[in-house]
Amino acid sequence: MMRERYLNGLVLLLLFTVPLWALINDQPFTITLATRAAIFALAAVGLNIALGLGGLVSLGHAAFFGIGGYAMGILAYHAQTYTPVMEVPFVIDGTKSMPVIWLVAMVTSGLAALLIGLLSLRTTGVYFIMITLAFGQMFYFFSISWIAYGGEDGLSIYIRNDFPGLNTLVPINFFAICFTILCLVLLINGLVARSPFGLALNAARQAPQRVQTVGLDPQRLKLAAFVLSGVITGLAGALFADLNRFVSPTMFSWQTSGEIMIFVILGGTARLCGPVVGAVVFVMLEHALGGLSEYWHIYLGALLLLVVLFARGGLVGLIAGRGVAHD
C-alpha cells in the first residue's frame, strides 16, 4: 500500500521521464503516445471535477472536448486560408497562436457548460446521465451537417499552431506544453478540492439538504463545478486537435464521452491522479494489445471487466488503498 501522494508523484515522474528516454533513443512515436496520454488525462481530469467531486455523471462531456477541438479547427482553418471567420457585425480573423486558441476554446466550452448545466441540473441520477448524453449527441449531429467545416469528413490543419518561443512541430516540445498544462491543472484541481468551494461541493454531493440548511445552494455549487469541468475538457480538446492536426465530429460522439469516463473510472474516481493513471494505462493497452490479435477488443473488455469487478476504486484504489471517505 503506497501513500497516494507518493503514487501521484511516481505517476507524474514516469509520464515525464519516458518521453525523455524516448528522445534520447530516437523514438519520436513514443513521445507522441505520451502526449496523447497527457491530453486524454487532461480531459479526464476535467470530467473528474464534475464526476468525482461533484457527483455529476456526465455522459456528454465529449461536447466540450469537441467544442475545444472545433474552436481550434475553425480558427486555424481561417488562418491557413487567409479568410476571416466572420465579417459582420465585426471582423474576426483566424489565428494560429496557441494561447489565443486556448482562451477561445476555454471560454466557448465554459459558456456551453453553463448553458448545458443550467438545463441539465434540473434532473438527477440516470436522467442527468441521459440528458447530458442528449446534448452531446446534438452537437455530434450538428457538426456532421456543418459542411462549411468539413462535416463528417472533418477539417485538416496542415501545420501545428504556434507557441511563442518554441517550435511546436518537434514532438518533445509539444509534449512539454501538454505536460506543463496537465500539471498546472492538477495543481488547481488539488487546490480547489481543498478549498472552501471544494469542501462544500463534496458535501453537496453527499448530503445536499444539509448543505442547504447551512445556507449554501448545492445547485450553484454543482453548476460551478460543471462549468470548471467543461472548461478544462475544452482545453484538452483544443490540444487534441493540435496533436492530430485534425478535427472531426468523432470528437463529439458518445463513444468519446464513454472513453473519457473510462479513463476516470479505470484510474479511480475522485482521486487526484486517477484520470492520469487511467488515461496512461488505456493508451498503453490500446497500443500494446493491438499487436496481439485482430480481435484485441476482447482482451481490452476482459481487462476492464476485471478492474471493475476486483479493483473497486480503480487502479489508484488498488495501489494506494481507500482514500478520503467516499460513498
Partner 1 sequence: MKLKSLILTTAIAALASGVSAEGIKVGMITTLSGGGAGLGIDVRDGFMLAIGQSDRSDIEVVIEDDQRKPDVAVQLADKMIQSEKVDVMTGIIWSNLAMAVVPSVTAQGKFYLSPNAGPSVLAGKGCHKNYFNVAWQNDNLHEAAGAYAKGIGYKNSFILAPNYPAGQDALTGYKRMYQGELAGEIFTKLGQTDYAAEIAQIRASGADSVFFFLPGGMGISFLKQYADSGVALPVVGPAFSFDQGILQAVGDAALGVINTSQWNKDIDNVTNAAFVKTFQAEYGRLPSLYASQGFDTANLLISALETAHPDDANAFRAALEAANFNSTRGKFEFGPNHHPIQDIYAREVIKEGDVYTNKIIGVALENHGDAYAANCSF
Partner 2 sequence: MSTILIIEQILNGLQSGIMLFLMAAGLTLIFGVMGLINLAHGSLYMIGAFAAASVAGLTGSFALALIAAMAAAALAGALVEMLVIRRLYATDHLDQVLATFALILIFSESTRWAFGSFPLFLDIPNYLSGPVTLPGGIQYPLYRLVLICVGLLVAIGLGLLITRTRIGIQIRAGENDREMIAALGVDISKLYTLVFALGAALAGLAGALVGAIQSVQVGMGEPVLILAFVVIVIGGIGSIKGALIGSLLVGLTDTLGGVFLPQLFKLFMEPSAAQTSGSALASMAIYVLMGAILIWRPTGLFGARA
Q: Return residues touching partner 2 (CB under 8 A).
A: 51, 57, 59, 119, 122-127, 129-131, 133-135, 137-138, 141-142, 144-145, 147, 254, 258, 261-262, 265-266, 269, 295-298, 300-305, 307-309, 312
Contact of residue 246 among partner 1, partner 2, none (CB under 5-8 Å per partner type): partner 1
**Residue partners of 201: CB distance under 8 A and separation at least 6:** 53, 54, 221, 222, 224, 225
Contact of residue 324 among partner 1, partner 2, none (CB under 5-8 Å per partner type): none
Whose Cβ is closer to partner 1: residue 24's or residue 147's?
A: 147
Q: Is residue 147 at the binding interface for partner 1, with CB under 8 A as the rule?
A: yes
> What Å distances lie between residue 45 and 37, 82, 108, 248, CA to CA?
12, 35, 19, 22
Site residues (CB under 8 A) for partner 1, limited to 30-59 = 32-33, 36
The answer to whether the CB of 30 falls within 8 A of the CB of 18 is: yes
Q: Which residue has the cell 462549468?
A: 227
Whose Cβ is closer to partner 2: residue 131's or residue 185's?
A: 131
Q: Is residue 250 at the binding interface for partner 1, with CB under 8 A as the rule?
A: yes
Contact of residue 152 among partner 2, partner 1, none (CB under 5-8 Å per partner type): partner 1
Contact of residue 308 among partner 2, partner 1, none (CB under 5-8 Å per partner type): partner 2
Contact of residue 130 among partner 2, partner 1, none (CB under 5-8 Å per partner type): partner 2
Q: Is residue 80 at the binding interface for partner 1, with CB under 8 A as the rule?
A: no
Instruction: List the one residue from 12, 23, 28, 168 that touches partner 1 (CB under 8 A).
Output: 28
Among the listed ranges 11-19, 95-103, 243-251, 305-313, the one in contact with partner 1 (CB under 8 A) is 243-251
Q: Give the contact letters, 161-180, x = binds to partner 1 (CB under 8 A), - = no.
A: ----------x---------
Q: Is residue 3 at the binding interface for partner 1, with CB under 8 A as the rule?
A: no
Contact of residue 32 among partner 2, partner 1, none (CB under 5-8 Å per partner type): partner 1
Among the listed ranges 99-107, 118-126, 181-189, 294-302, the one in contact with partner 1 (CB under 8 A) is 294-302
The answer to whether the CB of 71 falls within 8 A of the CB of 238 is: yes
Q: Give the contact letters, 262-291, x = binds to partner 1 (CB under 8 A), - = no.
A: ----------------------------x-
Q: What's the min distance (Å) between Cβ of 207 and partner 2?
A: 16
Whose Cβ is closer to partner 2: residue 101's or residue 144's?
A: 144
> What Å distances lie between residue 220 and 227, 282, 322, CA to CA?
10, 34, 29
Residues found near partner 1 in the complex (CB under 8 A): 27-29, 32-33, 36, 144-145, 147, 150-154, 156, 158, 171, 240, 244-246, 248, 250, 290, 294-295, 297
